[in-house]
Amino acid sequence: MRIRGFEMLLAIAIAGCGTTTPDGIGGDGIGTDPAANAVCAGCHSDIGQRWEQVSSHSLLLDCRACHEARGSSGPGHATTGDCATCHSAASHPAAAACSTCHDPHGTVNAFLVRDRLDLADGTVVDIRLAAPEGDTADGLTHASVPGAAGTGICEVCHDTTRYYPRSGTGDAHATGWCITCHSHDVAFAPSSP
């Protein structure tokens, strides 16, 4: 499966993150402890279900890699790590948190992209991203998909752009892997040809 292969590459890419994870995660700083995850999922069943999705950090980390337990149970019993501990890419828009578009606990979509996205205007949209291609039924944009134009992850927020707007009526341009020209590292700003 393509997504699992991506996650294995991600494991190699964040191996340096091991110096910042809590003790017991693994000799190299990454790894999973199913028993520790089961304890957390005992109370956080919704998160436990997401953790079992194809796209999650579950192949790489357990809960303790991002959450430091503080005592037993109850409100405020764990602190949350910062995505920047292991990831260095910029977000889009620049003021948005990573979790605006990504669910670190898991999702059915590739790249931990949320299943549903809350837009600034209060609209909630379903997102489908199962393939790294650009303009396809499962890609970042759905401009060429009858009845689905304007519903891709790149399109749902764009309402004033010339290319791939939420209305589904804009111009299409390149139809391949969007990240080739719109890098996550620079908040998806277009690169010069």
pLDDT tens, N- to C-terminus, the chain (193 residues): 333 444 443 443 444 444 333 444 443 444 567 777 788 888 888 988 888 887 777 767 778 778 877 666 777 777 777 787 777 766 666 667 788 888 888 888 888 899 898 888 888 988 888 887 888 888 888 888 888 888 888 888 887 888 888 888 887 788 788 888 888 877 788 886 5
68 and 135 co-located in one domain: no
105 and 171 co-located in one domain: yes
24 and 118 co-located in one domain: no
Q: The tokens of 62 are what? A: 């357990």
Q: What is the pLDDT of residue 124?
A: 92
114 and 41 co-located in one domain: no
147 and 54 co-located in one domain: no
102 and 180 co-located in one domain: yes
User: Distance (Å, rounded) from C-alpha 92 to C-alpha 187?
Assistant: 5
Residue 61: phi and psi, rounded to 5, are -135, 160
Kindly report whether the global pTM for this prediction surpasses the value 0.85.
no
The full length of the chain comes to 193
Q: What is the pLDDT of residue 145?
A: 86
Are 40 and 49 within 8 A, CB to CB? no
> Domain of 180?
89-193
76 and 117 co-located in one domain: no
Q: What are the CA-CA distances from residue 157 to residues 36, 38, 45, 51 (Å)?
A: 37, 36, 30, 26
Q: What is the pLDDT of residue 3?
A: 39
40 and 7 co-located in one domain: yes
User: Which of 53, 82, 111 is the C-terminal boundary of a domain?
Assistant: 82
User: Which of 82, 112, 146 is the C-terminal boundary of a domain?
Assistant: 82
Beta-strand runs (E) in 6-151: 67-69, 78-80, 116-118, 124-126
35 by DSSP, 3-state: which?
helix
- How far is residue 104 CA from its own chain's centroid? 6
User: Distance (Å, rounded) from C-alpha 112 to C-alpha 118?
Assistant: 15
Q: Tokens 């379903």 identify what position?
A: 126
114 and 28 co-located in one domain: no
70 and 94 co-located in one domain: no
